[in-house]
C-alpha cells in the first residue's frame, strides 16, 4: 500500500467518524456546558449536563422537565430552564410580584422558568417559548456531582 493510499484511508475514516459524531450530537444525545445562576441550587453556576434528543419523538414534554432551548432574546445562545406550564395551562406570569397576572400558554408553546427566580431571565421576561426552540431534555448532570435525573424532578 502506498503512502498516499494510507493517508486517503485515514482521511476517509476521519470523515466517517466526524459524520457519525455530528449525527449522534444532532439526533441522539450530546453534552454541553451550562453557565449562570438561574438554575441554582440544583444546577451549579457552571457544569456539564447531558441532553437527549430522542424522547420528544415518543413522549410529550411534561411539567418539571429540565430542557435546553434556544433563547428567544438571543437566538445564538441556549438556555437551561425547567418547564413550568404546558399548552392550555393558566400560569401566573410572575409569582414574585404582588399584583399577579395570569396568562394562558398558547398551543405549541411552553412556559419555562429558572429555579432561582430572583436571578433568572425566563418566560417572565420573554413570554411563552415555542416548542420548536427546545433542543432536548436534560437527563443527567455530568459534572460536578454526576447524577441521572428522574422525570418531573423538582428541587427541594
Active site residue 12: no
Q: Which residue out of 12, 59, 81, 123 is catalytically annotated?
A: 81
Q: DSSP 3-state assignment of 112? A: strand
- Asked if 38 and 81 touch (Cβ cutoff 8 Å), the reply is yes
Active site residue 38: yes
Partner residues linked to 104 by β-bridges: 90
Q: DSSP 3-state assignment of 78? A: strand
Q: Which residue out of 2, 5, 9, 38 is catalytically annotated?
A: 38
Residue 80 phi, psi (nearest 5): -105, 115
Angle value at C-alpha 149, between 147 and 153, nearest 5 degrees? 130
Angle value at C-alpha 27, between 60 and 38, nearest 5 degrees? 65
Specify the DSSP element, H or E, that contains 66: strand 66-70
Residues marked as catalytic: 38, 81
Amino acid at each position: 500500500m502506498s503512502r498516499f493510499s494510507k493517508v486517503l484511508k485515514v482521511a476517509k475514516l476521519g470523515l466517517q467518524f466526524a459524520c457519525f459524531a455530528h449525527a449522534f450530537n444532532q439526533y441522539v444525545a450530546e453534552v454541553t456546558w451550562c453557565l449562570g445562576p438561574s438554575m441554582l441550587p440544583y444546577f451549579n453556576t457552571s457544569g456539564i449536563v447531558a441532553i437527549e434528543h430522542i424522547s420528544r419523538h415518543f413522549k410529550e414534554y411534561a411539567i418539571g422537565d429540565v430542557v435546553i432551548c434556544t433563547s428567544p432574546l438571543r437566538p445564538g445562545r441556549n438556555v437551561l430552564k425547567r418547564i413550568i406550564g404546558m399548552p392550555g395551562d393558566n400560569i401566573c406570569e410572575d409569582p414574585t410580584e404582588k399584583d399577579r397576572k395570569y396568562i394562558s400558554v398558547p398551543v405549541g408553546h411552553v412556559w419555562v422558568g429558572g429555579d432561582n427566580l430572583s436571578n433568572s431571565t425566563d418566560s417572565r421576561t420573554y413570554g411563552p417559548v415555542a416548542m420548536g426552540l427546545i433542543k432536548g431534555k436534560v437527563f443527567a448532570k455530568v459534572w460536578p456531582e454526576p447524577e441521572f435525573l428522574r422525570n418531573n424532578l423538582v428541587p427541594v
